[in-house]
Amino acid sequence: MIVKAIQGYLSAALLTASVATVAAPISPADYQRVVDEAYAQFKDEKGGANADYIPILATVPSEMFGVVIITRDGEVYSAGELDYEFSIQSVSKPFTASLIMQQQGPRAVREKIGVEPTGMAFNSKMALEIYEGRSVNPLVNAGAIAAVSLVEASSEKDRWQQVLSNIEDYTARDLTVLEEVYDSEYETAWGNRAIANLLFNYGRLYSEPEEALRVYTRQCSIGINTLDLAMMGATLANEGVNPKTGKRVLDREHVPELLAIMATAGFYDESGEWMYSAGLPAKTGVGGGIVAVVPGKFAIATFSPPLNPAGNSVRGLKAIGYISSTLGVGLYGPNAGE
């Protein structure tokens, strides 16, 4: 299967990254230089438009742009907007999938959700009918709603608290829900409500549908900033240990499976194009955030609200592609970044 192949590449990449770090380490000056260059080169990019199917996202200032690298030992290199809290949206998905892995092991994700990319839009309902597994993978809406329903919880409150606490373990700080985003998203969640009910009908949802929908929508409405997002990625780059707190959030042996899913489905139906040009496991969200992971080395996070037609931040994907190609850190060798 495609994910098992990527896992093999990732395991090799972890070893290669460790060897490369010893042989030719990237200097602090190099990190800051590429961050500054990426910010300067793409800050005036005018392409894309804010998401508006969640009405409040259209009101986020579209000119904001931030770029952050955090290394596996917690060193921070940044440029642009760092403190503005935006809604995490789909960037939350792999981290809740990691909670399921931590509670039940990677097999539960494969057997109860799935790990194959859909090749369709992230909110596709057609995919539920075409694919026998229905939920397909945890980085599309169907699989992410199924992941929330799989959290081992005694109540809706407990389910939500576990989801929130897990993401806080990755960011290393307390987080809050942007209630205006939640209200706007939940009030217009007819498509996701249909997905939840279809999953329940097919036996691929593991809690009451509306409960899963509420917790999932609240998860997507968590407020984070660019630094938070980079710390989340740096935790995965550091083999599941948060560089700031030293807390193990995900067992080391589960990290390759999670990164494999990010590599094959993190950019939705543009994931193949992303891996071709940047070569890094990543996750994007319609709130404008992107996080990419260089296993064993560092993470790159960006925030910029204008999206391309696939739902990916235009400035963000260009900035991360530039950093990846300039530093030569793509998993399969240096990408041209074109």
The answer to whether position 258 is within a domain reads: yes
Angstrom distances, CA of residue 196 to CA of 212, 227, 266: 8, 32, 21
| 179 class by beta-carbon count within 10 Å (0-12 exposed, 13-18 middle, 19+ buried) | exposed
The answer to whether position 10 is within a domain reads: no
The answer to whether position 335 is within a domain reads: no
Angstrom distances, CA of residue 320 to CA of 41, 262, 317: 12, 15, 5
Q: Cα–Cα distance between 228 and 267 in angstroms, integer?
A: 20
The β-bridge partners of 241 are 248
Is 216 within any annotated ligand binding site?
yes
Angstrom distances, CA of residue 327 to CA of 27, 32, 35, 42, 302: 11, 12, 11, 17, 17
Is 62 within any annotated ligand binding site?
no
Angstrom distances, CA of residue 7 to CA of 1, 107, 256, 298: 10, 14, 6, 18
At position 26, the amino acid (one-letter code) is I
193 & 253 share domain: no
118 & 263 share domain: no
Is 255 within any annotated ligand binding site?
no
Can you tell me which residue has the tokens 């599309």?
140
Q: Cα–Cα distance between 319 and 166 in angstroms, integer?
A: 28
189 & 271 share domain: no
Closest CA to 225 of 93, 94, 65, 96: 65
Global pTM value = 0.91
pLDDT at 123: 73
226 & 86 share domain: yes
- 210: CATH: 3.40.710.10
96 & 213 share domain: yes
The answer to whether position 8 is within a domain reads: no
pLDDT at 162: 98
**Per the structure, how many domains does the chain have?**
2
pLDDT at 252: 97
Closest CA to 227 of 77, 111, 92, 90: 77
Domain extent at residue 214: 92-220
Per-residue pLDDT of the chain (338 residues; tens, 9 = 90+): 544 555 554 554 544 444 333 336 899 999 999 999 999 999 999 999 999 988 999 999 999 999 999 999 999 999 999 999 999 999 999 999 999 999 999 999 999 999 998 877 787 777 777 877 778 899 999 999 999 999 999 999 999 999 999 999 999 999 999 999 999 999 999 999 999 999 999 999 999 999 999 999 999 999 999 999 999 999 999 999 999 999 999 999 999 999 999 999 999 889 999 999 899 999 999 999 999 999 999 999 999 999 999 999 999 999 999 999 999 999 887 765 55
At position 207, the amino acid (one-letter code) is S
The answer to whether position 7 is within a domain reads: no
Give catalytic residues, as residue numbers: 90, 93, 216, 268, 286
pLDDT at 125: 77
Is 225 within any annotated ligand binding site?
no
pLDDT at 24: 67
